Amino acid sequence: MLKRSYFIFVYLFSWLVFGAVGLALNFFCALLMLLPNRERHGPAVREIIRRLFASWSAWLNATRVVQVTWQGPGPAGLVRPAVYVANHPTLIDATVLLARLPDAMCIFKPALLRNPFLAPAAIMGGYASGDTGIDLIHTVAEKVAGGRTLLIFPEGTRTDTGRPFNPLKPGFALIARRAGVPVQVLIIRASRDLLPRGRPLWRIAALPARVEVLVDQTVDTGPDRTTNEIVADVQRRFAAQLGSTP
């Protein structure tokens, strides 16, 4: 009982700290948005975000609330520039991955732009909004071709309960082909009830929980390959590591 109480307290405290630091970061970024040439601060903001996520991940590990482990090369050995694709079983996937990926950006939901507690950091970090269609693909591909790393969850949302992964959307392949960079597959395995889709934040998972990240194969995106072939290759890697094709 005492052990369970410890994990619940630390779990809730961790989210409280996460929220407080997030508010402070977004307040700081809101001030930066008032400066001229705000784009030049993007790399510094992305590095701050990466370090904050790395610190939070290290805290979860140190307290044993959520054990986060990686299989594969360390940060220095990760491919760059590249499009990183991962399955999406939990709410904390992006924080775990952005803590390790070099100069990474995400594509966030358009609704986030209307959230004053989240939008400033996303905008200052140079992340892209998913509401601009083909223009989004061109803009993001240009940034990736220039040396940036893109993290994208091709399922589009967290994995449906009971599925190994959802059907994949082809946007990541279009971006990678246009940018002329490879697709690096990441496989996430996590405790089943660690904030999956449809589970409210206040429902505490069985603790301690785990998140394991496997740096899997790199998929070629050369000019002789079609978008469908690239998507099929990634889907095969997901199926091989996670289970049957959806």
pLDDT of residue 49 exceeding 70? yes
DSSP 56: H
pTM of the full structure: 0.90
Q: What is the pLDDT of residue 80?
A: 80
Residue 42, C-beta contacts closer than 8 angstroms, at least 6 positions apart:
124, 125, 126
pLDDT of amino acid 244: 66
CATH code (residue 119): 3.40.1130
27 closest CA partner among 127, 118, 128: 118
pLDDT tens-digit series, residues 118-148: 889 988 988 887 765 777 888 899 999 988 8
- pLDDT at position 55 is 96
* Per-residue model confidence as pLDDT tens digits over 88-115: 999 999 999 999 998 888 888 777 777 7
Number of domains present in the structure of the chain = 1
96 burial type by CB count under 10 A (0-12 exposed, 13-18 middle, 19+ buried) = buried
* Pure H helices in the chain: 2-32, 42-63, 93-98, 119-124, 133-145, 171-179, 227-242
- Give the CA angle between residues 41, 42, 47 to the nearest 5°: 105
pLDDT digits (tens, 9 = 90+) for 58-90: 999 999 999 999 998 777 678 788 999 999 999
The tokens of 174 are what?
């279009």
What number of other Cβ atoms are within 10 A of residue 9's Cβ?
12
Instruction: Name the residue range of residue 136's domain.
Output: 2-242
